Amino acid sequence: MYKFEPILKTLIWGSESWQLSGVPGSLSVVFEGPEKGKTVADLLCEQHEQLVGRRSYERYGDVFPLLIKFIEANLPLSVQVHPNDELARKRHNSFGKTEMWYVLHAKKDAYLYAGFNRLLDPESYCRMVEDGSITQALAKHSLQEGDVFFLPAGRVHSIGGGTTIAEIQQTSDITYRIYDFGRLDKNGNPRELHTELAKDAIDYRVFSDYRTHYLPCPNRPVELVNCDYFTTSLLDLNQPIHFDHSAMDSFVIYIGLEDNCEFTDEKGEKALLHAGQTLLVPASNGRLNLRPVGTAKLLEVHI
């Protein structure tokens, strides 16, 4: 079981902490134990399917398939969209970017944009970007702790200020910036927009509800998202729980949201996961006991 040094990034609108990353140039590094100092890429090259599972290794090779972040938005992020696998491969020789958000904290009146509130076509989209009215066509969502949003590639979105979010996404750093509220970069120039690139990446469909609804249930996994790229569940624990993942053929990631949780694997190895930390459990390590220290809230992620 592995915990990693967070990779901290300061941005014009706030900050990100990359908790587990296989993105080239931003590879997570193990910070304790016998493998201390190794990157997640090193672990994958050494362990192959023993780390990630046979299906994942056949699909992604020596690229760790998920990126885990904490995002703290002091100001609104740009309105943006991410390409799907097909378009990203064609344009950038990269994976696309499907993601999800779990809201950790939201100030009063905090909001985010996800999806459209009206039907647009590429031409009307371009006009609204040009005249600065594109946010009027976006579905705006008020926020509170525990809200969940699934963002398949192609869905236009933006996080508002005063919001802290846990993000789970494909390993990809491709973003098409559509609108940036007229902000300037550190050199005093308008930040680059990708209006034309985004035009062919956007899913213009309109849905009645973009929020993921779920019913919390103590001491059992509550599934939040199940897609082609990851499955995420919420664990709200006040008593120990046992998992047998040996037939899953996948690594499992645990993201600490509140309080602490002690993990014991089938070899007797222990790891204490604090809120704000992420734990990677290899696919070869199938049986786990989780013991909350009092209580604990976590996200569980696998493919």
Show which residues are catalytic: 177
Cβ–Cβ < 8 Å for 285, 243: no
Cβ–Cβ < 8 Å for 290, 240: yes
How buried is 300 (Cβ within 10 angstroms: 0-12 exposed, 13-18 middle, 19+ buried)? buried
Two tokens, residue 38: 């190794």
| SS3 of residue 247 by DSSP | coil
Per residue in 193-208, is it b (16+ CB within 10 Å) or e — as a string? bbeebbbebbeeeeee
How buried is 17 (Cβ within 10 angstroms: 0-12 exposed, 13-18 middle, 19+ buried)? middle
Measured CA to CA, the distance from residue 116 to residue 64 in angstroms comes to: 32
**Residue 128: its H or E element:** helix 122-130
